[in-house]
Amino acid sequence: MFGNLSERLVETFKGLRAKGKLSAADIDATLREIRRALLEADVSLEVVKTFIAAVRERALGDEVSKALNPAQQVVQIVQEELVVILGGEARRIQFAKNPPTVIMLAGLQGSGKTTLAGKLAKWLKDQGQTPLLVACDLQRPNAVNQLQVIGERVGVPVFAPEVGNGKGNPVSVAKDSIKHAKQKQFSVVIVDTAGRLGIDEELMKQANDIRKATDPDEVLFVIDSMIGQDAVNVARAFEDGVGITGVVLTKLDGDARGGAALSVAQVTGKPILFSSTGEGMDAFEPFYPDRMASRILDMGDILTLIEQAQKSFDEQEASAMAEKMAKDAFTLEDFLDQMQQLRKMGSLKSMLSMMPGAGKLKGQLDNIDEKEIDHTEAIIRAMTPKERRDPKILNGSRRLRIAKGSGMTVTDVNSLVNRFEQAAKMMKVMAKGGNPGIPGMPQGMGAMPRPQVKKEKGKKKAKSGNPAKRAAEISGIKPAQQGNSGSSFGLGG
């Protein structure tokens, strides 16, 4: 259907970067893509609107117009703002001064409360607490049984005086459970409640009554990460109807982007404490706002990976390369060097393949054919140093010798020389007017958004973090859009 956001932004930036400075219209074009991506990630429309407005305001300010690469700076702002809303850092459970600590769970039907209750109990038990599970879902058929089975699995007692299935009063069960916990000296009480709709006033009142009866230290709103636009309505209804202290996001082991996290955090202003990531009782972890931000936009991890890729490109080599390019002294030896740089990146391929939606970058790395690099390497190694430095002397008999020496055919040798010549020509052109990015990169690679160094938030970098680009800057070459020119290296032909 649609490509992911990184792919679409790359498209947008292609047009933008050539211009250097961003106009308000450029920023709006970028924000339109981001808006769409947020909506496709199920962030609620009203949250998207306020979010985009905030980003726009920042993007029109100084930090973007002064940035070396304004388009990337916009993405950086988006990422930062996302993390801010998702809650700068994860908060921990608040424990009561006088035990038991009471944790009440509330949420829609099917959001995963009962399973979560078990996980939370296990997690607390592993930390040395003595939790008690309380079966207050007397509505859904056999919810009480389910909690009992789960309690048994995690070795945590379950307070279940009522069988449920529509019978019994959850408010009195809740009340009694606290008495019971005090008597038996449980340190934490986890109250599982029936799923209820935000618009069901009667049941919302009942939830509030359970709250009053138990005076919980935490009321955790449990929400399915697959939820769509309704997240804002539901979050508001629970915040108004019961009052929540924190949020738990469930089923994050699925492949939903989880934009609801943003909606809920924005609307309630309450921190997301945990994420639930599977059906096993250990599939439970603290919530990481930065990871969630990346997940929603489907691009953060890619930024990190590119950062790594760029590290493998040695800075000195880069400046030497830039000089050579400027002087038209690009040789087959340099070509070989680049191949080897690329090979280092090849190992990224496997890392990338594990990531969902790595998008364009992955597609490009797929173009790195290890065999192709092997062949290229073999051919160049079969050349004399003189031939490598001056391929013009490669006549028919030399080519035949090289082919034999490398175990390749003359056609292979010819095509390599052709590709090299094209590349060298391209290099010259770029050295005059453009930034080569990482030379030898497969098509479009240089157009990927580059990570800003994370720790330097706010600080403006004097020089580019991209070694090749920095080299180009040093040597007085104006950084500009590379476009597709890298393709002339034509890996894989």
Partner 1 sequence: MFWRKKDKAADVAVEEQVVQEPEVQVEKVVEQLPIVEPTVVEAAPQELVKVELPKRNLTKGFKAVFSRIKFDVENLEELQDILIQADFGVSAAEEIVAEVKVRAKKSGSRTEAELKEILTDLLTEKMTRSDVSLNLDSGKQPYVILVVGVNGAGKTTTIGKLANYLVEGGAKVTLGAADTFRAAAVEQLETWATRSNSSIVKPVSEGQDPAAVAYEAVEKAIANGSDVLIIDTAGRLQNKQGLMDELGKIRRVIEKNLPISEVLLVLDSTTGQNAMTQAKAFTEVAAVTGIALTKLDGSAKGGIVYAIQDQLNIPVKLVGVGEGINDFGFFDAKEFAIGLVGEK
Ligand X SMILES: Nc1nc2c(ncn2[C@@H]2O[C@H](COP(=O)(O)OP(=O)(O)O)[C@@H](O)[C@H]2O)c(=O)[nH]1
| Nearest-angstrom CA–CA distance, 178 and 211 | 12
Contacts (CB under 8 A) with partner 1, residues 124-163? 139-143, 145-146, 148-150, 153
Residue 418 near ligand X by CB under 6 A = no
Bridge partners, residue 132, by sequence: 189
Residue 438 site contact among partner 1, ligand X, none (CB < 5 to 8 Å, cut-off depends on kind): none
- Binding to ligand X by residue 145, rule CB under 6 A? no
Spell out the residues 6+ positions from residue 266 whose beta carbon is closer than 8 angstroms to its own: 47, 50, 51, 85
Q: How far is the CB of 2 from partner 1 (least distance, A)?
A: 8
Using the rule CB under 6 A, is 353 a contact of ligand X? no
The reply on whether position 415 binds partner 1 by CB under 8 A is: no
Binding of ligand X by 391 (CB under 6 A): no
- Is the previous residue joined to 100 through a cis bond, with omega within 30 degrees of 0? yes
Contact partner at residue 393 from ligand X, partner 1, none, CB < 5 to 8 Å by partner kind: none
Which among partner 1, ligand X, none contacts residue 324 (Cβ within 5 to 8 A by kind)?
A: none
Between 18 and 197, name the residue whose CB sits nearer to ligand X: 197
Determine which residue in the list 61, 88, 110, 286 makes contact with ligand X, applying CB under 6 A.
110
Residue 432 near residue 327, CB atoms below 8 Å: no
Strand 272-276 relative to strand 284-286, pairing? antiparallel
**Rounded-to-integer distance, Cα 225 and Cα 121, Å:** 21
The Cα 35–Cα 11 span in angstroms is 15
Binding status of residue 111 toward partner 1 by CB under 8 A: yes
- Opening angle at CA 457, ends 453 and 460, nearest 5: 80
Binding partner of 36, given partner 1, ligand X, none, CB within 5-8 angstroms per partner class: partner 1
| Beta-ladder partners of 190 | 103, 133
Kindly state the smallest distance separating residue 110's Cβ from ligand X, in Å.
4
Q: Which residue, 65 or 229, has its beta carbon nearer to partner 1?
A: 229
Under 8 Å CB-to-CB from 128, ≥6 apart: which residues? none
Closest CB to ligand X among residues 102, 143: 143
Which CB, 257 or 469, lies closer to partner 1?
A: 257
Buried b (16+ CB within 10 A) or exposed e, 22-41: beeebbebbbebbbebbebb
The Cβ-side half-sphere exposure at 76, using a 13 Å CA radius, reads 23
Question: What's the rounded Cα separation, in Å, for the pair 314 and 345?
Answer: 13
**Residue 33 sits in the site that holds partner 1 (CB under 8 A):** no
Using CB under 8 A, pick the residue from 130, 172, 208, 233 that binds partner 1: 233
CA angle 459, 460, 462 (to 5 degrees): 130
Task: Tell me, residue by residue from 196 to 215, as one string, x for binding to partner 1 by CB under 8 A and - for no binding.
Answer: -xxx----------------
Q: Which x/- pattern over 186-205 shows residues binding ligand X (rule: CB under 6 A)? A: ---------x-x--------
Site for ligand X in 435-474 (CB under 6 A): none
Residue 56 or residue 388: which is nearer to partner 1 going by CB? 56
Q: Which is nearer to partner 1, 164 or 434 (CB)?
A: 164
Closest to ligand X by CB, 195 vs 446, is 195
Does 360 interact with partner 1 (rule: CB under 8 A)? no
Among partner 1, ligand X, none, the one that 400 touches (CB under a kind-dependent 5 to 8 A) is none
Among 23, 94, 109, 353, binds ligand X (CB under 6 A): 109
The answer to whether residue 312 forms part of the interface with partner 1 (CB under 8 A) is no
Q: Choosing among ligand X, partner 1, none, which partner's interface includes residue 429 (Cβ < 5 to 8 Å by kind)?
A: none
Q: Two tokens at 441?
A: 């990169």
- Quick one: CA torsion of 236, 237, 240, 242, rounded to 10 degrees? -120
* Alpha-carbon gap, residue 84 to 88, rounded angstroms: 5
What is the Cα–Cα distance from 128 to 283, expressed in whole angstroms?
Answer: 19
Backbone angles phi, psi at 189, to 5 degrees: -115, 125
Q: Which of residues 251-290 bind partner 1 (CB under 8 A)?
A: 251, 253-257, 259-260, 279
For residues 173 and 134, is the Cβ–Cβ distance under 8 A? yes
Interface residues with partner 1 (CB under 8 A) are: 1-2, 36, 39-42, 44-45, 108-112, 139-143, 145-146, 148-150, 153, 165, 197-199, 224, 226-230, 233-234, 237, 251, 253-257, 259-260, 279
Residue ranges that bind ligand X, judged by CB under 6 A? 109-110, 140, 195, 197
